């Protein structure tokens, strides 16, 4: 009778060791899977950051005073007012 009880203890311990081994393996698999996903997100972040820098550079280029003046004179046909056309308002 004591021998049967020891067999069950051994079987339970073997099942616990196998369950632990499978859980470690599965956890390691999930860890690698999430690490790969994280690396892809880092790559995407880097690509978006480069694109953002390019857009900021383009934005600052479009806002230069020379370009605004050129657009105002050529496309909008704006001209500087003559000194006689300037009115100074004092409060």
Contact (Cβ atoms closer than 8 angstroms) between residue 61 and residue 67: yes
Q: What ranges in the chain are assigned the alpha helix state H?
A: 2-62, 65-74
What is d(CA 51, CA 58) in angstroms, rounded to the nearest whole number? 10
Per-residue pLDDT tens for 36-55? Answer: 999 999 999 999 999 999 99
Q: What is the residue whose two structure tokens read 């073997």?
A: 14
Region class of 77: left (phi > 0), else alpha (psi between -120 and 50), else beta: left
Residue 73 CB contacts under 8 Å (≥ 6 apart), including other chains: 79
Per-residue pLDDT tens for 17-41? Answer: 999 999 999 999 999 999 999 999 9
- pTM score: 0.57
């Amino acid at each position: 009778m004591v021998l049967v009880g020891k067999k069950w203890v051994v079987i339970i311990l073997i099942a616990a060791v196998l369950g632990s081994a499978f859980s470690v393996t599965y956890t390691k698999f999930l860890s690698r899977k999430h690490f790969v996903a994280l690396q892809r997100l880092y790559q995407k972040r880097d690509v978006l950051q480069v694109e953002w820098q390019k857009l900021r550079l383009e934005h600052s280029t479009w806002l230069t005073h020379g370009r605004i003046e050129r657009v105002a004179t050529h496309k909008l046909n704006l001209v500087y007012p003559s000194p006689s056309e300037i009115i100074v308002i004092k409060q």
